[in-house]
């Protein structure tokens, strides 16, 4: 293919789409700037106008990847038309589903290989941090309403996030064929999470004849 030095307003988006399409099938370690160049028929100099190195490409992919992850997970947490229990449940299912649908992207976003790049681009303490802030705000909402225990919301968010990450990582990495029981494990994990989150009063009410559905999400 003859390379051209052309560039246009959407070339950067084209490069990113090619990169994401590539890691949908291959490990991110195999991604190179040459792959982008060959796929678009452009010279390396055209790529360097947008990405000075693979590291800069990876940083942009991480930022875009977290935006996509946020779009996949956060709406369930923010939907106040649904009960808080339903919102927690749906977001947990969405988290696991994102990892299953995008294993290599998930490893890029949460793995150790590019941790330094991720930490320079993403801060979980930011109010708009992907997914994390939405979960923290939902927990604080539940605490204010008396449904959830009043405790350190940041620490509780990390604990929940860690559980979701652990299960998702085991599933996509094929640990002991755990993917075959991922839905069952997610259900059990959700039940344990609620048990640690809700107040004793809510637990008491849920055991009453009229409160049977309080802690059961609308599946």
For the ranges 89-93, 176-180, 184-188, the lowest mean pLDDT is seen at: 176-180
Find the mean pLDDT for residues 192-216. Answer: 75
Q: How many domains does the chain have?
A: 2
Instruction: Express each pLDDT in 33-70 by its tens digit.
Output: 999 989 888 888 888 888 889 999 999 999 999 999 99
Residue 217 is assigned to a structural domain of this protein: no
Question: For residue 2, is pLDDT > 70?
Answer: no
Q: What is the mean pLDDT of residues 157-171?
A: 94
Helix then strand then coil, in percent of the chain rounded to 5, is: 70, 0, 30
Candidate from 16-25, 100-109, 121-130 with smallest mean pLDDT: 121-130
pLDDT at 19: 95
Structure confidence at residue 10 (pLDDT) = 79
Residue 59: predicted pLDDT: 93
In contact, 73 and 95? CB cutoff 8 Å: yes
In a domain, 218, yes or no: no
What pLDDT does 208 receive?
60
Are 143 and 182 within one domain? yes
- On whether residue 216 sits in a domain, the answer given is no
**171 lies in a domain?**
yes
Q: Which domain holds residue 85?
A: 60-211
The verdict on 89 and 194 lying in the same domain is yes
State how far the Cα of 82 lies from the Cα of 91, in Å rounded to an integer.
12
Q: Is 148 left (phi over 0), alpha (psi -120 to 50) or beta?
A: beta
Res. 15 pLDDT band, cuts 50 70 90: very high
Residue predicted with more confidence, 17 or 200: 17
Q: b vs e for 136-145, b when ≥16 Cβ sit within 10 Å of the residue's Cβ?
A: bbbbbbbbee
Claim to verify: residue 131 and residue 43 sit in the same structural domain: no
Give 180 or 62, the one with higher predicted confidence: 62
The separation between CA 90 and the C-alpha centre of its own chain, rounded to angstroms, equals: 13
Task: Answer whether residue 6 shows pLDDT above 50.
Answer: no
Place of tokens 């620490």: 155
């Amino acid at each position: 293919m003859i390379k051209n030095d052309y560039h246009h307003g959407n070339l950067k988006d084209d490069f990113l789409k090619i990169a994401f399409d590539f890691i949908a099938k291959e490990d991110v370690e195999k991604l190179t700037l040459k792959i982008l160049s060959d796929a678009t028929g452009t010279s390396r100099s055209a790529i360097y106008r947008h990405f000075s190195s693979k590291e800069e490409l990876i940083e942009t992919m991480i930022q875009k990847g977290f935006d996509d992850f946020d779009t996949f997970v956060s709406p369930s947490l923010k939907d106040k038309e649904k009960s808080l229990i339903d919102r927690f449940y749906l977001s947990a299912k969405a988290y696991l589903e994102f990892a299953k649908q995008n294993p290599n992207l998930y490893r890029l976003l949460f793995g150790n290989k590019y941790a330094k790049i991720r930490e320079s681009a993403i801060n979980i303490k930011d109010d708009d941090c992907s997914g994390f802030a939405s979960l923290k705000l939902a927990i604080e909402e539940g605490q204010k309403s008396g449904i959830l225990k009043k405790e350190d919301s940041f620490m509780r968010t990390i604990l929940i996030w860690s559980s979701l990450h652990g299960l998702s990582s085991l599933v996509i990495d094929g640990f002991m064929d755990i993917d075959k029981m991922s839905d069952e494990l997610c259900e059990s994990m959700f039940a344990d999470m609620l048990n640690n989150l809700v107040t004793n009063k809510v637990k008491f009410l849920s055991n009453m004849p009229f409160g049977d559905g309080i802690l059961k999400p609308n599946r």
